[in-house]
Amino acid sequence: MRKLIGLTAIVVICFFLGNCVQRFVAASQMVPQLAFPLSAAAHEFAAMLQPRFPQVPIRAQPPVFNGTDINIDLINQWLGDSSPEVFLTFDDGPSAEATVQILDVLQRHDIKATFFVLGSNVSRLPDVVQRIVAEGHELALHSHTHPNFLTLTREQKEAEIAQSLSLLHWYFPEVRIRWFRPPYGKYDQEVVDIAHDYGMCIAMFNEISTDNNSSAGEIARVVLNSRGKIMVFHDGQWPPLGRLSEAEAQLVAGLNRSVGIAKGRGAKFMTLSDYFGGFCP
Tell me the pLDDT tens digit for each residue of 36-50: 344 445 444 444 444
Q: Does pLDDT of 201 surpass 80?
A: yes
Task: Kindly state the average pLDDT of the residues 83-91.
Answer: 96
Under a CB-based contact definition with an 8 Å cutoff, are residues 255 and 108 in contact?
no
> What is the four-CA torsion angle of 218, 139, 151, 60, rounded to 10 degrees?
-170
Residue 57 confidence (pLDDT) above 70: no
Residue 47 lies in a domain: no
**Dihedral sign, CA of 272, 181, 39, 131?**
positive
In a domain, 36, yes or no: no
Predicted confidence (pLDDT) per residue in 105-137, tens digit: 999 999 999 999 999 999 999 999 999 999 999
According to the model, what pLDDT value does residue 93 have? Answer: 92
Active site residue 169: no
pLDDT at 179: 98
3-state DSSP assignment of residue 178: coil
In a domain, 25, yes or no: no
| Number of domains comprising the chain | 1
Please measure the distance between the N-terminal and C-terminal CA atoms of the chain and give it in whole angstroms: 58
Helix axes of 246-264 and 216-224: crossing angle, nearest 10 degrees = 30
The answer to whether position 267 is within a domain reads yes
The C-alpha atoms of residue 204 and residue 71 are separated, in whole angstroms, by: 5
Question: Does residue 18 sit within a domain?
Answer: no
The answer to whether position 255 is within a domain reads: yes
Give the CATH number of the domain where residue 136 resides: 3.20.20.370
pLDDT tens digits, one per residue of 239-260:
556 678 888 999 999 999 999 9
Residue 11 placed within a domain: no
Asked if 91 is an active-site residue, the reply is yes
The pLDDT tens digits for 127-185 are 999 999 999 999 999 999 999 999 999 999 999 999 999 999 989 988 999 999 999 99
Reported pTM: 0.80
Q: Percentage of the chain with pLDDT > 90?
A: 68
Angstrom distance (rounded) from CA 70 to CA 66? 13
For residue 144, the enclosing domain spans 69-279
Q: Which residues contact 121 (CB under 8 A, 6 or more apart)?
A: 92, 93, 94, 95, 236, 240
Going by C-alpha positions, the residue among 142, 139, 167, 143 that lies closest to residue 56 is 167
Q: In angstroms, rounded to a whole number, what is the distance separating the alpha carbons of residues 206 and 120? A: 26
Cis link prior to 239 (omega < 30° from 0)?
Answer: yes
- pLDDT of 264 above 70: yes
Does a structural domain hold residue 61?
no
Catalytic residue among 91, 92, 127, 235: 91
The CA angle 217-220-226, to the nearest 5 degrees, is: 145
